Amino acid sequence: MKNSLQNSSAIFETYKIRRAYDEKTETWFFSVVDIIQALEVSVDARNYWKVLKNNLKKEGSEVVTKINQLKMLASDNKSYNTDCASTQTILRLIQSIPSKKAEPIKLWLAKVGYERMQEMNDPEKALNRSREYWQKQGRSEKWIQQRMMGQETRNKLTDYWSSHGVKQGDEFAVLTNIIHQEWSGLTVQSHKKLKKISSQNLRDHMSEEELIFTALAELSTRKIAETKQSEGLKENKKSAKMGGKIAKGARKSLESKTGKNVITGENFLHDSHKTKKLNQ
């Protein structure tokens, strides 16, 4: 199956489960490993699935034949082929997994289709679910609010890319890296290295200033792309460079006035946890 689906994440308790929606068939496909992790049957969900899949193959189970490989975003912001299955197949798979979470996740799966319709009519509901997830993770309200504002700007940009010939996954990552390097002077990976993180989401660890300039760069990129009606990866690369340079100019101006660098090795996620604990 080609990965022409709309990728997103859903929240089950404190777990993020990657999913993709096929508009043509109105079908959800979920990451099998993420579902297994949420079932809390093993500390190593990937290995558990590897063993289970082999056992199911030996038994001649039809479940394995219904697994699809779809490109999904991993924690390192890169897309990889991921074992995914429809709701119906996931429900059949759960029958092979002894877990106290089996019934709760079955009920959750039943709700997902309804939530899809809600989010299509009111996108704010999706942001509210993200807020709920972050709250359960112990994030401070300040941390959540800053990221929600940045996420809205990011979503508008990726919506433009999706509707103008840019492929989700690798091409999104290429454009994101161009924007980031233009405004900050660092690639995404170099910025992660500065903050001493590897596979984690860089935005989760950014300072307020870093988030604001990232949002300015992405907003500028979208506005330029809309004005120029940029199509495909090649044209959107040009818009990404121009958008990033606008934010770079603003960053340089602020740094010259304050004498302080906007780019920092400090870790805002850790500060968020400290603030939360102090307020408890």
Contact of 247 with 181, CB cutoff 8 Å: no
Average pLDDT over residues 154-168: 89
**pTM of the predicted structure, to 2 decimals:** 0.56
Q: State the Cα–Cα distance between residues 52 and 162, nearest whole angstrom.
A: 35
Q: Where are the domains of the chain?
A: 6-126, 137-279
Query: What pLDDT, on a 0 to 100 scale, did the predictor assign at position 199?
Result: 66
Query: What pLDDT, on a 0 to 100 scale, did the predictor assign at position 126?
Result: 59
Structural fold of domain 6-126 = Mlu1-box Binding Protein; DNA-binding Domain (3.10.260)
Query: What pLDDT, on a 0 to 100 scale, did the predictor assign at position 276?
Result: 40
Average pLDDT over residues 185-202: 87
Query: What pLDDT, on a 0 to 100 scale, did the predictor assign at position 144?
Result: 76
Residues of the chain above pLDDT 90, percent: 41
- pLDDT band, very low/low/confident/very high, at 137 (cuts 50, 70, 90): low
